[in-house]
C-alpha cells in the first residue's frame, strides 16, 4: 500500500479548472499510473532475483557465477590479491536419492545451501553449479586459506543431520577440490578445470575429503 499526498499552494484560486472533482480525477489517474509502474518495477526485481538464484538452495546459479567471475578475475588482476575457487560435490548422491527418494535429497541440498550462506564472508559468492555440485568463489583469499575454508565447510556439512519419513537419521559427506589465482590458472576456465581435477582425485581416493592442486590432502 502506498500514499500520495498533495498540498495546495497558498492563494490558489478554488474556482480554477483543476479544483474540486477535476483535480481529484487527475490525481486518481496519476496515482493509478504510478501504482502500475511501481508494481512493474517490483515484479522485474523479483524476476531478476529469480534469474540469479537457484530456487531450492537460494544460492546463486551458474549463469550469475560466470558473469561474476569475469568481474572478479579482472579486479583480482588489478589488485594483485588472490582468489580462491572451491568445488564441492555430495558423495554418492544418486544412491542417496535412490534409497531415500528425491524429497530427502532436496532437504540435503537445502541444508548445504544454508550452511554455505551462513559460513562464508561478505563478498564470497556461493553457487549451485548443477545437481549436487557447489562452486564457491572467495575474493581476496589465498590458496592456503581456501583449502582451510573448504575443509571447515566439509566438517560442518558432516554434522548435517536429517530424518527419513520413518524417522531414521540421514547423513551425507562431501568431497572437494580447490584451486586459486594466480598459482593455478589465469582465467575462470583454467581455475575451474584445476579444481574439478582435484575433486575427481578426492572422489577416487576415498571421498569425504578435500584435495588441492598440489595433491595436499585435508
Q: Are 125 and 164 in contact (CB under 8 A)?
A: no
- How far from 74 is each of 12, 81, 119, CA to CA, in Å? 59, 11, 25
182: preceding bond cis by omega (within 30 degrees): yes
- How far from 61 is each of 38, 51, 101, 139, CA to CA, in Å? 27, 8, 24, 18
Q: Is 144 a catalytic residue?
A: no
Q: Catalytic residue among 48, 107, 132, 144, which?
A: 132
Q: Are 178 and 86 in contact (CB under 8 A)?
A: yes
Catalytic sites, residue numbers: 132
Amino acid at each position: 500500500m502506498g500514499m500520495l499526498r498533495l498540498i495546495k499552494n497558498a492563494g490558489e484560486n478554488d474556482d480554477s479548472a483543476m479544483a474540486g472533482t477535476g483535480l481529484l480525477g487527475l490525481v486518481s489517474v496519476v496515482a493509478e499510473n504510478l501504482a502500475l509502474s511501481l508494481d512493474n518495477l517490483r515484479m522485474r526485481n523479483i524476476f531478476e532475483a529469480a534469474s540469479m538464484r537457484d530456487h531450492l538452495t537460494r544460492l546463486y546459479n551458474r549463469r550469475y557465477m560466470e558473469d561474476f567471475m569475469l568481474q572478479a578475475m579482472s579486479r583480482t588482476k588489478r589488485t594483485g590479491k588472490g582468489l580462491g575457487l572451491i568445488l564441492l560435490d555430495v558423495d554418492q548422491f544418486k544412491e542417496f536419492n535412490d534409497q531415500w527418494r528425491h524429497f530427502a535429497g532436496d532437504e540435503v541440498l537445502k541444508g548445504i545451501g544454508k550452511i554455505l550462506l551462513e559460513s562464508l564472508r561478505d563478498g564470497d559468492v556461493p553457487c549451485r553449479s548443477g545437481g549436487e555440485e557447489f562452486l564457491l568463489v572467495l575474493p581476496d583469499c589465498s590458496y592456503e586459506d581456501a583449502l582451510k575454508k573448504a575443509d571447515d565447510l566439509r566438517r560442518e556439512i558432516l554434522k548435517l543431520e536429517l530424518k527419513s519419513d520413518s524417522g531414521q537419521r540421514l547423513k551425507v559427506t562431501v568431497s572437494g577440490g580447490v584451486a586459486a589465482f594466480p598459482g593455478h590458472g589465469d582465467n575462470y576456465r583454467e581455475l575451474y578445470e584445476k579444481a574439478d581435477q582435484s575433486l575427481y582425485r578426492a572422489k577416487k581416493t576415498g571421498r569425504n575429503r578435500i584435495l588441492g592442486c598440489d595433491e595436499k590432502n585435508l
